């Protein structure tokens, strides 16, 4: 069961033609991942205070159809894979009113310390992200 974050498209999100600027989808994915992790009990502020950081190691987006000014988008987020020092997320971004898929994105986050050196994921983080809301293991 994916985590869903709804995002309203404002004028500032679009280009001069009223179409969502392509790079903004990365921001929407970032917001969705943060909300997903928080919903799983992973407090990002607490991790930062402990010297545990997530950095984007890889991102791939496939644009299928444009979002437009005034749309409400639903960003569906699931964990595709949890490795020893990284988490790979899959995002489907859809127009909420119709369910039309606009963007497919896959983003891999690496876990690092304050010196940006790879850091093994703590077991509580692995356990939290490997179990989705319906108890299904990835």
Q: Is 71 a catalytic residue?
A: no
When pLDDT is averaged across residues 43-65 and rounded to a whole number, the result is 97
Whether 39 maps to a domain, the answer reads yes
Q: Does the structure show a pLDDT above 60 at 69?
A: yes
When pLDDT is averaged across residues 62-79 and rounded to a whole number, the result is 98
| Residues 73, 28: Cα–Cα separation, whole Å | 9
User: What's the CATH number where 34 sits?
Assistant: 3.10.129.10
Q: Which of 13, 15, 124, 134 is catalytic?
A: 15
Whether 137 maps to a domain, the answer reads no
pLDDT digits (tens, 9 = 90+) for 91-129: 999 999 999 999 999 999 999 999 999 999 999 999 999
Q: Does the structure show a pLDDT above 60 at 135?
A: no
Whether 43 maps to a domain, the answer reads yes
Burial class (CB in 10 A: 0-12, 13-18, 19+), 71: buried
Backbone angles phi, psi at 126, to 5 degrees: -60, -45
Q: Does the structure show a pLDDT above 50 at 6?
A: yes
Query: Looking at residue 132, what is its pLDDT?
Result: 56
Domain housing 69 = 3-130
Whether 123 maps to a domain, the answer reads yes
Domain count, the chain: 1
pLDDT digits (tens, 9 = 90+) for 20-34: 999 999 999 999 999
């Amino acid at each position: 069961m994916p985590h869903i974050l709804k995002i309203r498209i404002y004028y500032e999100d679009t280009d001069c033609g009223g179409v969502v600027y392509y790079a903004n989808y990365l921001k929407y994915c970032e917001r969705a991942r943060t909300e997903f992790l928080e919903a799983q009990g992973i407090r990002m502020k607490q991790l930062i205070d402990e010297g545990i950081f997530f950095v984007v190691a890889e991102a791939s987006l496939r644009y299928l159809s444009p979002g437009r000014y005034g749309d409400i988008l639903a960003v569906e987020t699931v964990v595709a894979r949890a490795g020893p020092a990284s988490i790979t997320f899959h995002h489907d971004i859809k127009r909420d009113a119709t369910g039309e898929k606009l963007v497919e994105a896959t983003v891999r986050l690496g876990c690092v310390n304050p010196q940006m050196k790879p850091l093994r994921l703590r077991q509580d983080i692995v356990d939290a992200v490997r179990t989705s809301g319906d108890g299904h293991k990835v």
